[in-house]
Each structure stands twice: as C-alpha cells, then as structure tokens.
Amino acid sequence: MNILVSACLLGENCKYNGGNNKNDDVLALQKEHRLVPICPECFAALPIPRVPSEIIDGKVFSKDGRDLTEEFKDGASKALYVAEETACQVAILKERSPSCGFGKIYDGTFSGKVVDGNGITAQLLYDNGIKIVGESQISKLGI
C-alpha cells in the first residue's frame, strides 16, 4: 500500500525548529508499504528553520504576526497533488500541526493548548477522500 506520511515523522529535519519528529512505529511500516513523504510547509517554500505558526479562526499566522494562510494553502495543494500522483488513499500525519494535524490542533495562542480542528493540509486531504490518522493512531489503519 502507498501511504502518505508527514516527512518529519520519517526523520526529515523539516520542522519549524530544524528538527524532526522521527517515529519508529511509522518507519517500521516501510517493511511492507511504500511511504510517500510530504512536508507541506516545505512545499510552500517556507524556510527551515522558520517561525512557528498556528491557526486562528481558519487563518494561519506566524508567531510574529504574519498571515501565512496562502502559503499554507499552497503547500496543501501540492501535498494533494503528490497524494493523487502516487495513489495514496491513506495518510499518517503529524498530530497538532497547523498543516498536518487532524482532529486536534494548537489553539493559536502559542501556549501548547489544543482545540478541535484540522491543519490546512489535513483538511484538504480529508475533503478529497483520503483517510487520515495521527502517528499515535496508526493501529486504526488496520494494516
């Protein structure tokens, strides 16, 4: 099976702070599946490292107050393109991210609090029929 995966979960140093979110349970799926990495914020040509961003009322703002909504939408469109080109019908995405979070995201106050909601890319993938789980929920994929 082809599975779309947040690149930071695979150990790519594409996080806002230049680090990654390497997850061994996700990496182990490589034995039996093709993992297709995406980093929507990289696709949008945002730099590494970069100022962190969060979603407020459906718009994305960096911690220093810039409206990056269009950049995040651009990255989401490119992630969807990759998903379609590689026929991925499922995705494992980094939890709570303003791009990749699904179900819960940071609340826009940069305080670590979470609220119900989806990241910009997760929402677009979901709207296009892709099944999404976070990295702590991969057992729900049933694979």
Binding site for ligand SF4 (CB under 6 A): 6-8, 14-15, 39-41, 94, 97, 99-100
For ligand SF4, give the closer residue by CB, 4 or 142. 4
**Closest CB 7 distance from ligand SF4, rounded Å:** 5
Backbone angles phi, psi at 58, to 5 degrees: 80, -5
**Closest CB 100 distance from ligand SF4, rounded Å:** 4
For ligand SF4, give the closer residue by CB, 41 or 54. 41
For ligand SF4, give the closer residue by CB, 19 or 131. 19
**Closest CB 101 distance from ligand SF4, rounded Å:** 8
Q: Angle at the Cα of 96 (from 95 to 102), degrees rounded to 5? A: 65
**Closest CB 72 distance from ligand SF4, rounded Å:** 9
For ligand SF4, give the closer residue by CB, 49 or 113. 49
Q: What residues does 115 pair with on adjacent strands?
A: 105
Token pair, residue 128, equals: 């296009």
